[in-house]
Amino acid sequence: MYHNQPDGALASSHISAPAKIDNLDAFIKQTRPRYPVTVLRPEKLTTRAAEFVSLFPGRILYAVKCNPDERVLRALIAGGLDSFDCASIGEIQLIRSIKPDATIYFMHPIKSRESIREAYFDHGIRAFVLDTADELQKIVEETKKAKDLTLFVRMAVPKQKVTTDFSAKFGANPMLTGELLRMARKHAAHLGLSFHVGTNCVDTGAYGHAVKVATDVIKASGVKVEAIDIGGGFPATLDPANPPPPLSEFIGAAQGSLKDAGMEDIQMLCEPGRGMVAAAGQLVVRVEGRKGDLLFLNDGTYGGMFEGGPSCDLPYPVRMIRAKGAKASASVAPFRFAGPTCDSVDMLKGPFMLPDDIKEGDFIVMDQLGAYGETTRTNFNGFTEVVKVELTEKKAKTKLRKVA
């Protein structure tokens, strides 16, 4: 059970131990928590991991950055995952501590020399990604010209229907990618080409197009390439009334392009993050005040809703819980959200459709926050307190309101 802290208590990032519950609404109504409540549904993680394992024909690397919570990692491992995409030594150490025999790929295109050296010699990492000749040289030098390297050249792809364009920061253009493949081939026991179509991609054709570009580049390079990594970008269900295509269609689009290129036997990898874990997380926030269509909440973009702010404007599915008082209105209206900090950047434009009589003291359940929500949380302005719960699902499901 959760106990409120005294008003003056600003503990250094105090986080209560997870409570195990089987009814979220009952928990909120009973405890009326003062602080935001982060909800994890481990069964959804295990089920989703098993779905990926059953459908994807190659190696699945969970993108640890998306949610590195140990409970998340253990649930995914229980679903059959044994390989991980890490971007830092910290993530590598975390995975080694939980699953020492895991296969880890160091997939940050720009790494410090110390990190390359430590990954190879201290943690047994053999797979690295690069998108420049300078990075290739660093890897070769810091591994002392190792003969057992698996190297991936990351290619930039044109922006698709995505929330964030990952090629704006990483990836070589197709012509340079071919040149890098030829250079890397001399140092690689196994050579691959990787790309990332962008986060929260809802267009299956983006994967098919990117694979076609990749296979064209491989053919033009004139060297043998053993693998294609189609990255992540698999979407979350942000509008329950209009869900994205099923996972099988994204995989099928990539496989179709490989078959058309005569490369159906090449090893395929993927790096799911959001599409693997988003549905397993929720955030419950309390309304602290209302100004017209603007609701002031006890959490925001500096907390668990970073991607709902100006960086991504993700329209999370929402519903209301009224802990006390008259039954909520059946009429709904569009609302904007404001977080608790003093920064005006701390806002979410929505629109979020909620009962038009929502007021101070009501609670809002925000869905699809298993991805990036808690990992981007900060201590800004001293808003550090959260309550953690693990929810075991009952068969009866509560319908989320559609986001306009």
Alpha-carbon gap, residue 174 to 183, rounded angstroms: 14
Q: Where are the domains of the chain?
A: 19-41+278-391, 42-277
In one-letter notation, the amino acid at residue 301 is T
pLDDT in tens, the chain (404 residues): 333 333 333 333 344 568 999 999 999 999 999 999 999 999 999 999 999 999 999 999 999 999 999 999 999 999 999 999 999 999 999 999 999 999 999 999 999 999 999 999 999 999 999 999 999 999 999 999 999 999 999 999 876 654 555 556 789 999 999 999 999 999 999 999 999 998 899 999 999 999 999 999 999 999 999 999 999 999 999 999 999 999 999 999 999 999 999 999 999 999 999 999 999 999 999 999 999 999 999 999 999 999 999 888 899 999 999 998 889 999 999 999 999 999 999 999 999 999 999 999 999 999 999 999 989 899 999 999 999 999 997 653 444 443 33
Backbone angles phi, psi at 60, to 5 degrees: -105, 120
Provide the b/e sequence for 353-368 (b: ≥16 CB within 10 Å).
Answer: bbbebbeeebbbbbbb
CATH code for the part of the protein at 42-277: 3.20.20.10
Comparing CA positions, the residue from 390, 377, 389 lying closest to residue 340 is 377
CB atoms closer than 10 angstroms to residue 153: 35
The DSSP string of 126-141 is -EEEESSHHHHHHHHH
List for the chain the helix, strand, coil content (%; round to 5): 30, 25, 45
Report yes or no: 11 and 5 within 8 Å, Cβ to Cβ: yes
Model-level pTM? 0.89
Domains 19-41+278-391 and 42-277 share a fold: no
Alpha-carbon gap, residue 93 to 87, rounded angstroms: 11
Q: Among the CATH numbers 1.20.1250.20, 2.40.50.200, 3.30.70.100, 2.40.37.10, which is that of 19-41+278-391? A: 2.40.37.10
Q: What are the angstrom distances between the C-alpha of 210 and each of 121, 127, 355? A: 34, 22, 43
